[in-house]
Homo-oligomer: A and B are copies of this chain.
Amino acid sequence: MKCTVCRGPAVIDLRRHNANFCADHFLRFCRDQVAKAIDRHEMLAPGDRVLVAVSGGKDSLALWDLLLELGYDAEGMTIGLGIGDYSEASTAAAVAFAEGRGLALHRIDLRGDYGYDIPTAAAVTRRVPCSSCGMSKRHLIDKAALDGGFDVVATGHNLDDEAAVLLGNVLHWQTEYLGRQAPVLPARDGFPRKVKPLVRLGERETAAYCVVRGIDYIVDECPMAEGNRHLRYKEALNAIEAGSPGTKHAFYFEFLDKAADRFRPEAAEAQEGLQACRSCGAPTTGELCAFCRLVDRVADAEPVPVELLRKGAGRNGRSGRRADAATGARGDT
């Protein structure tokens, strides 16, 4: 297998691009794809202060590294979710990356700063953990970006993520979410601009990028996400992609070109009537935002060890969770 560019030994084949690359040209390919995404979707302007949401996984560390390589002013932020060993290892990977390069990493710990963790939130709300986890992360990164004077939040969602979210949204024709699914969410009152510069790269590519760049990332998937719909949608798309390379790319980008606008009215409607949360000031449809409601509800609860929430465990195991939070459809990812 030879590099399509220089004919040297290739380290990776990319079937949807009908190309193979050596290590150097693969890194260049990744940078080019991110630069192209940033350019085409007008994600970042020169001089923007970027806050990168860093989990410690391949995507967020590759993203942070790539933005720095492309010359952007990018600081990191990581949130301790309290999901046992997984969270500890994730935070450690983020910290090691930042310290090794002398980068600024802002840290929040859900338990230390807000008195709860994700397993406890899932147990108390009786919803899938991904529900309170996603909401908490979105809220806290928005707040950190606004408080810190950042111009934009960058997240590590890759093509596989976006295609799987899109599949969930079309399987249930979630018209509001379809109208909002985009690689850029513009800033609005109380919300920072949010961008997804990795939308042109698949997760196999972000993993390979980290390997080639010598970035240590946490390889394990979150133990609480096991068997969720999002992963099932990824598997279904992977099976289709294997037979028809390029399907995921076409699915996502042709959606943006040819279909997304048709769903804008519902998304715009859903954004009307937002007001400031009376506790924290974040935009919300009610008096109190979802994050403050969650904190009110779970901050005093007895901590639930993550093991209790694994498959088939106890009264708050998967079987007891409410299904309505688990449609796998998503709006503001």
Contacts and interface: CB of A to CB of B under 8 A. Distances in A.
B170 A170 contact: yes
A258 B232 CA distance: 24
A172 B259 contact: no
A171 B250 contact: yes
Nearest to A247: B171
A255 interface: yes
Contact of A240 (B175, B233, B247, B263): B233
A271 interface: no
A29 interface: no
A172 B232 contact: no
Nearest to A266: B258
Interface in A247-301: 247, 250-251, 254-255, 257-259, 262-263
A227 B243 CA distance: 9
Contact size class for A?
20 to 34
Given A170-B170, A251-B170, A258-B175, A235 B229 contact: no
B175 A251 contact: no
A253 to B, nearest CB: 9
Contacts of A254: 172-173
A263 B263 CA distance: 11
A236 interface: yes
Contacts of A235: 239
A319 interface: no
Nearest to A242: B232
Interface string A213-239: 000000000000001010011011101
7 contacts: A172-B247, A172-B250, A173-B251, A229-B243, A232-B244, A236-B240, A239-B239
Closest 6 CB pairs of A and B: A236-B236, A173-B254, A262-B262, A173-B258, A171-B251, A173-B259
Given A175-B259, A236-B239, A259-B262, 20 more contacts: A171-B250, A172-B247, A172-B250, A172-B251, A172-B254, A173-B250, A173-B254, A173-B255, A173-B257, A173-B258, A229-B243, A229-B244, A232-B240, A232-B243, A232-B244, A236-B236, A236-B237, A236-B240, A239-B239, A262-B263
